[in-house]
Structure 1
Amino acid sequence: MGKTKIVAIVGSLRKDSYNRQLALAAKAVVGDEAEFELIEFGDIPLMNQDIEFPAPEAVKRVREKIKEADGIWFFTPEYNHFFSGVLKNLLDWLSRPVSESEPPVLIGKPAAISGISPAMTGTAMAQDHLVTLISFLNMKVMNSPRLTIPSAMQQLNQEGKLELTTSAPFLEKQAKAFVEFIQQ
């Protein structure tokens, strides 16, 4: 068996989103313990059954990454007490069968959830909604530890880049737990 493969899905398309920066921090924490790749999915069209078969190339590309992954780590922002529409759209595509003979790619995949937000509540509500959806999609959810980081502005450096301070040990704990969770 090769090295554990983790695919990160960031629920924001913004180039320097706090959650993208958090995913990159997680990649650094994971280090050599696992392969870690951020999936780019800004080119995924809106879910539309009229174009489902054959799937658009962007959807095929992401599905292949998911199939190759041993675990999926979600980094979700919180928009109006929910996860983002772009993340929901991606999950709608990934929830569909690949073909008449091939099931959806998320079934049985281990999943972890993290999130950072400028709000005082962090991303707890968005994470709870996301757990509801991915549980319905039959993913294997690591419910604990989950990481929700509030008040993101307090963990930014002078250039406005994320530099985890008080949250760093919690990210390290979650990364270690997720690698173990996947390998069980």
Structure 2
Amino acid sequence: MKFIGIVGTNSDRSTNRKLLHFMRTHFADKAEIEVCEIKSLPAFNEPKDKTPPSSVKALSDKIEAADGVIFATPEYDHSITAALKSAIEWLSYTTRPLINKSVMIVGASHGLLGSSRAQAHLRQILDAPELKARIMPSSEFLLGQSLQAFDDKDNLIYPDKVKELEECFDEFLLFVQLTNELVKTEKFKTEQNKKFSWKQAAEEGVS
């Protein structure tokens, strides 16, 4: 399987980036994980023609071709970063590659609780009509005290968290298999969802 891992911040010192790089190496015998950055994406500006910038289109194409997506999100002020929200807004407003795409959410933060509030918020966002991602349920990986969690080679040094991450990833592999089989039978629905518009929904509601 091939997955896209999205670093949910534009910080150069992100421990979420370290987490994704660790996952790419640690799970290399199970899946290919390409780590993607959002630092180069422009701020979302709602273009009238709904044409994405080239950097957004490149990320969208990678998501479209992947078997699943792994979001690694920090927590800023009880939510996801503005950069990640902007990236998701580009995808939802233009190409909508996340519709029916299997998604795993992980997160690291400097505090004790990990990114629990941000992950909950991200789940809500990804369930919006323009996104409709298939998010792995009842499983979240929270890495607290992340500044001390990696060695100088970006290896996760907490054995209990490594074991937990392995269990979560194995669940995700199974989730992707089941979801992709289900989605094959709903191809028309996927294309229909990509054409969703609030204007049309409002008109149909009135009629």
TM-score by length of 1: 0.87
Q: Deviations over 1:45-70 (max 9, x none)?
A: 11112375432111111111111011
Q: Deviations over 1:61-110 (max 9, x none)?
A: 11111110110101000011111111100000111243xxxxx1110001
Structure 2 residue 184 is matched with structure 1 residue 163: no
- Name the structure, 1 or 2, with higher relative contact order (CA <8 Å, separation 6+): 1
Residue in 2 that maps onto 1:110: 102
The aligned runs of 1:1-184 (5 Å cut-off) are 4-50=1-47, 53-98=50-95, 104-136=96-128, 137-157=131-151, 159=152, 161=154, 163-165=156-158, 166-184=160-178
Whichever structure has more helix as a proportion of its residues is 2
SS in 2 for 1:167: helix
Rounded to whole Å, the distance in 1 between the matches of 2:115 and 2:161 is 14
Rounded to whole Å, the distance in 1 between the matches of 2:150 and 2:31 is 27
5+ unaligned residues in a row in structure 2: which ranges? 179-207
Please tell me whether Structure 1 or Structure 2 has the larger radius of gyration of its CA atoms.
2
Give the partner amino acid of 1:155.
A
Residue in 1 that maps onto 2:193: none
Rounded to whole Å, the distance in 2 between the matches of 1:65 and 1:52 is 22
| Aligned Cα root-mean-square deviation (Å) | 1.8
5+ unaligned residues in a row in structure 1: which ranges? 99-103
Q: How many residues align?
A: 175
Rounded to whole Å, the distance in 2 between the matches of 1:39 and 1:52 is 26
TM-score by length of 2: 0.78
